[in-house]
Amino acid sequence: MASLRNEVLRLYKSLLREGSKFSNYNFRMYALRKVRDEFKEHKLETDPKKIEAFLTFGKENLDVVKRQVMVANLYRTDNLVIERKTV
């Protein structure tokens, strides 16, 4: 159980780290919001089978994020007006 917990935490951190690499503001913010909300929603899950299924789903998505960060960053644009203000 403890190893499963570690795996989940590792996945959570990886998803946030990779998601924050989107150069596109909207994709980046969505990725972070979605990852946080998704993990929060299922944080009380105890069924190991379901946790395994979530892990598989999360890992697939981590691969998608890694690939898409690369693709999106190949065609990056200027920052949005809103980013200039917050930086």
Partner 1 sequence: MFRSAQSVVNVGRVSSLGQMSRVKGYGALLSKTDIPLNIPSAFITLCSNRCKESSNKEISKDLEGRPLYLDAQATTPLDPRVLDSMLPYLTSYYGNPHSRTHAYGWESEKAVEKARKQIADLIGSDPKEIIFTSGATESNNISVKGVARFYSRSKKHVITTQTEHKCVLDSCRALEGEGFEVTYLPVTKTGLVDMEQLEAAIRPDTSLVSIMSVNNEIGVKQPIAEIGKLCKSRKVFFHTDAAQAIGKIPINVQEMNIDLMSISGHKLYGPKGVGALYIRRRPRVRIEPLQSGGGQERGIRSGTVPTALAVGLGEACSISKREMKYDHQWMEKLSNHLLKRLESMPEVIRNGDVEHTYPGCLNLSFAFVEGESLLMALKDIALSSGSACTSASLEPSYVLRAIGADEDLAHSSIRFGFGRFTTMEEVEYTAQRVMKHVERLREMSPLWEMHQEGIDLKSIQWSQH
Binding site for partner 1 (CB under 8 A): 22, 25-27, 29-30, 34, 37, 61, 64-65, 67-68, 71-72, 77-86
Of 5 and 67, which has the nearer Cβ to partner 1? 67
CA neighbor of 53 nearest in space, from 44, 64, 45: 45
Least distance CB 87 / partner 1 (angstroms): 11
Of 51 and 72, which has the nearer Cβ to partner 1? 72
Least distance CB 30 / partner 1 (angstroms): 5
DSSP category for residue 85: H
Of 8 and 65, which has the nearer Cβ to partner 1? 65
User: CA 33 to CA 27: how far, in whole Å?
Assistant: 10
